[in-house]
Amino acid sequence: MPPSRFAAFAIALPLYRAFEYRIDDSEAVVAGTRYRLPFGQGTRTGVLLSVSDSTDYAAERIKPIEARLDQRPVLSEHMLALAKWMSEYYLQPTGEVIFQCLPSYLRGSRVYQSLRVKRWQLVDSDADVIDELQSRSPRQFEIGLALLRQPGGMTAAQLKQINPNWHAVVRAMESKQLLRWEWVDAAVNPVIASELPRLSDEQSAILGQIEPRLRHFAVHLLDGITGSGKTEIYLRLIQARLADGLQVIYLVPEIGLTNQLIDRVRQRFGDCFATSHSSLTEYQRYRAWDRFRRGEVRIMLGTRSTLFSQCERLGMIIIDEEHDHSYRQQDGVRYHARDVAIKRAQMLDIPIVLGSATASLESIANCERDTWFHYRIDHRPTRYPPPPIQLIDVRNSRFEFGCAAPTLARIESHLAQSGQVLIYLNRRGFAPVVMCHECGWQSQCRNCDARLTLHQSLQTLLCHHCGFNQAIPETCPDCGHDEIRHYGIGTEQLEQGLRSRYPDTPVLRVDRDVISSRDALKARLQQLQSGESCILIGTQMIAKGHDYPAITLSVVLDADQALFSASYRASESLVQTLFQVSGRSGRGDRVGEAIVQTRFTEHPLMQALQRQGYREIAADLLQERRLLGFPPCARAVIFRADALELKQALVKLEEIKTLLGQARHFERLASVGPIPALMTRRIGRYRAQLCLLSADFQALRSVLSQAMPAIQEIASSPRVSWNVDVDAYDL
Ligand code: ADP
Ligand code: ZN
Ligand code: ZN
């Protein structure tokens, strides 16, 4: 046997271990490189972690690698270290975490080729040579002439503008040795806009405090009311980092309205940035990743997983709307992008800037730590403050498509003054309940403990959890009665109602059902941008991050549900949403108004909304969490199991609980479960959970580190699978 060594690989499997393969001694090995590995009957892609001369296993049984996939490692040492930390902190299988850090395009066996751009030039810039082409080959002449005028050469995109079939022509010219090409590795340099807005006093004071601290790790929380100019501060900080020759990652929540921010960044810095979000294809996101990695662009702007972008010279991370739930990944590898970003910044000794008008209770509590700086902005640089929240008591109201009469009156008054109106309704579809008037039958999902939502445009009943759909029955499946009615309002019905009531006003709906078409979304946003009177309706997508100065009225239709939710986070989320939605209005030179429909005007939370600002309410909520012993004043770790039968899931969790119970200090933790999950059946599987809760973080970590090695051995199978969720969002 030739001399060989043993290499450990990460493979994307829900297993808590690395896999060993034999690797040729002569091979230059670098951690972070992908290999094709024999696995079972087939092959798998693995990321090389380390190499050793010896192995704990029987050496002769270790298989050799099959092939190396990358010339250069796809993951840097820093990324591998971050992944290792994530896997330890979040108790997630290493292989899955490591593959999570790659763009999805590279998670399989596609070869990583840097996506550098080629540039063609004339071999000989002798005009006579080109002239000769004119009669024989007019298409070659045309390209030759263009290149003659552009001695620096041209890229494929430029050549395509001359001739859509440029490729064949260029091929022919290459074979005649008229052309040669080279890689363009040129970075796109920032072009800073020449006219910047004059900073408000608050903005400049904050910049003055952050700028001297840009050289080292620190967490800066920008706690500024909606429209207070936080984005402007980010842009100035980015500018400072670019001037130092560094790169920046800028994260925003998963929103449909990112376009506006993209335009803003382009206006400020030119084309020196790349974007990455879910409406791009895998390949487009991979391209963005590669451009940032090579330093071709300096800013990477995108949603959650953009955090894993790599580059040579990262100088800052920005997390806008840091309270937003989309930073939490709930399936697969469970992590919180904000918290991982803070760790990443600490590892690299760079600053991280979090911003929100409705900071999470986690961040508010964290501001007591030394490495956190807390800045407040209490005024908008524009003319009017955010509007106070007004409650509209709808207890005895008649509704039309979800709107009470006083609400309609406000809408009409704003439309009459050519304002734009935003209406928030976090429920898509036409109606959430379909019921038999005679026997009470309700349309239930076959696979989930959930009702089917009526989608009139699709002519179906649809499950929002698993996608199951069925035709709308004409008669009751149980009693045969022919009076099937629907109850409640979704965005589709609201849109229809508003359209027929205000035929001359454009009604723009933005929710997941409509924005799958990007062009449709673009048209809607242009309408908003134009400043002409219109009504914007939508789900959570329209609550965040955008800045349309013509919006003068914000309306929230259904706040009440959250008042009685089983989730301990419901109040925090509701308050955040209400302040965010209300803060979308009055950003321009007209005063805004914000109204919330409720049947519970006396509810303490509703009362607080009328009288207090977000910070005061948040302080009270935090105090309440402290008294109850809930996060962020305690840590929560949840083990979940799902199976074809509820009993199997519960048994699996009992097994886990027994192992946890054997650890020292287990008695110091509160544990709840195993119990069936709130929504017990989802996508055809029964779900249960076991929750550990403790304010004593040391004890919790200690129990986990004692018990996890044995728990990790418990296999997941398609029949019963389990996972663990550290810093779980909901209990
Ligand atoms: P936030 O991110 O806090 O919601 P933005 O940065 O989007 O706030 O600012 C809200 C609006 O105020 C934007 O239209 C922005 O152009 C404007 N703005 C921000 N800073 C200034 C300033 N210093 N002078 C004038 N207008 C400003
Ligand atoms: Zn019936
Ligand atoms: Zn379902």
Return the SS3 of 554: strand
Question: What pLDDT is recorded for position 185?
Answer: 65
Residue with more model confidence, 46 or 189: 46
Contacts 24+ apart (CB under 8 A), 13-19: 13/93, 13/95, 13/96, 14/93, 14/96, 14/716, 14/721, 14/723, 15/93, 15/95, 16/93, 16/94, 16/708, 16/712, 17/94, 17/712, 18/49, 18/94, 18/95, 19/46
What's the mean pLDDT in 615-622? Answer: 94
Pairing mode, strands 685-694 and 670-682: antiparallel
SS3 assignment, position 672 = strand
For residue 225, give the ligand 1 atom closest to its CA. Answer: 3
Taking a C-beta distance cutoff of 8 angstroms, is the pair 176, 123 a contact? no
Separation between Cα atoms, residue 619 and residue 621, nearest integer Å: 5
198 lines ligand 1 (CB under 6 A): yes
pLDDT tens profile 358-377: 999 999 999 987 789 999 99
Q: Which fold has domain 389-429+489-628?
A: Rossmann fold (3.40.50)
* Whether the predicted pLDDT of 19 surpasses 70: yes
pLDDT at residue number 541: 82
Q: Does pLDDT of 183 surpass 80?
A: no
β-bridge partners, 462: 453, 469
**Mean pLDDT computed over every residue of the chain:** 90
For residue 546, the model assigns a pLDDT of 78
Measured by CA distance, the residue closest to atom 9 of ligand 1 is 229
Burial environment of residue 348 by CB neighbours within 10 A (0 to 12, 13 to 18, 19 or more): middle
Domain boundaries, the chain: 5-106, 118-184, 201-377, 389-429+489-628, 433-487, 635-726
Q: Is 236 touching ligand 1 by the criterion CB < 6 Å? A: no
Element (H or E) spanning 263, and its range? helix 258-269
Q: Name the residue with the closest Cα to ligand 1, atom 23.
A: 199
Asked if pLDDT for residue 2 goes beyond 60, the answer is: no
Per cent of the chain over pLDDT 70 is: 98
Among 189-193, 376-380, 402-406, 660-664, the least confident range: 189-193
- At 209, which helix (H) or strand (E)? helix 201-210
Residue 124: pLDDT above 80? yes
Would you say 253 and 261 are in contact if contact means Cβ atoms under 8 Å apart?
Answer: no
Asked whether the whole model's pTM tops 0.85, one would answer yes
pLDDT on residue 354: 97
Angle, vertex CA 185, rays to CA 183 and CA 190, nearest 5:
150
Ligand (nearest to CA of 230): 1
**Atom of ligand 1 at shortest distance to CA of 549?**
14
Query: Which segment of 57-71, 93-107, 492-506 scores lowest on mean pLDDT?
Result: 57-71
Ligand 1 pocket test, pick from 232, 233, 251, 319 with the greatest ligand atom count within 8 Å of Cβ, gives: 232
Residues β-bridged to residue 676: 688
Query: How buried is 138 (Cβ within 10 angstroms: 0-12 exposed, 13-18 middle, 19+ buried)?
Result: exposed
396 against 660, higher pLDDT: 660
Q: Determine whether the shortest distance from the Cβ of 203 to ligand 1 is under 6 A.
A: yes
Atom of ligand 1 at shortest distance to CA of 380? Answer: 12
Nearest atom of ligand 1 to the alpha carbon of 224:
3
Among the listed residues 372, 493, 476, the one whose alpha carbon sits nearest the alpha carbon of residue 427: 493
Residue 203 in this model has a pLDDT that exceeds 90: yes
CATH class of 5-106: alpha beta
Write down the pLDDT at residue 57. 76
Q: Whose CA is nearest to atom 17 of ligand 1?
A: 229
pLDDT of residue 115: 66
Residue 257: predicted pLDDT? 64
Say yes or no: CB of residue 230 within 6 Å of ligand 1. yes
The whole-number pLDDT of residue 125 equals 77
Looking at all shown ligands, the one closest to residue 449's CA atom is: 3
580 Cβ below 6 A of ligand 1: no
Strands 42-52, 4-11: parallel, antiparallel or unpaired by DSSP? antiparallel
Q: Tell me, what's the pLDDT at 1?
A: 53
**pLDDT tens string 102-119:** 999 999 888 777 667 788
pLDDT at position 458 is 87
In this structure, whether the domain defined by 635-726 belongs to CATH 3.30.70.600 is answered with yes
- Is the pLDDT at 422 greater than 60? The verdict is yes
Query: What are the φ and ψ backbone dihedral angles of 184, each rounded to 5 degrees?
Result: -100, 120
Nearest ligand by distance to the CA of 227: 1
CA of 548 to the centre of ligand 1 (A): 11
> Within 10 Å of residue 456's Cβ, how many Cβ atoms?
15
Q: Is the CB of 231 under 6 A from ligand 1?
A: yes
Nearest ligand to residue 468 Cα:
3
The ligand with the least distance to the CA atom of 377 is 1
Coil, helix or strand at residue 686: strand
State whether the beta carbon of 544 lies less than 6 angstroms from ligand 1. Answer: no
- Read off the pLDDT of residues 498-547 as tens digits, 9 standing for 90 and up: 999 999 999 999 887 776 666 777 778 888 888 899 999 988 888 877 78
Fold: same for 201-377 and 389-429+489-628: yes
Q: Please tell me the distance between residue 547's alpha carbon and the centre of ligand 1 in angstroms.
A: 8
Q: Which of 11-15, 27-31, 137-141 has the lowest mean pLDDT?
A: 27-31
User: Which pair of tokens denotes residue 348?
Assistant: 């690299």
31 band by pLDDT with thresholds 50, 70 and 90 = very high
Of the candidate ranges 307-321, 353-367, 489-503, 552-566, the one whose mean pLDDT is the lowest: 552-566
Look at residue 187 and tell me whether its pLDDT is greater than 80. no
Distance CA 624, CA 619 (A): 9
What would be the CATH architecture of the domain defined by 201-377?
A: 3-Layer(aba) Sandwich (3.40)
pLDDT confidence of residue 255: 61
Which of 234, 382, 544 gets mutated to test ligand 1 (max ligand atoms within 8 A of its CB)? Answer: 382
Query: What pLDDT was estimated at residue 362?
Result: 93
Over pLDDT 90: what percentage of the chain?
Answer: 65
Task: Decide: 332 in ligand 1 pocket, CB within 6 A.
Answer: no
Q: How far is the CA of 383 from the centre of ligand 2 (A)?
A: 57
Residue 557 — pLDDT band, cuts 50, 70, 90? very high
Q: Which amino acid is at 247?
A: Q
CB of 199 sitting under 6 A from ligand 1: yes
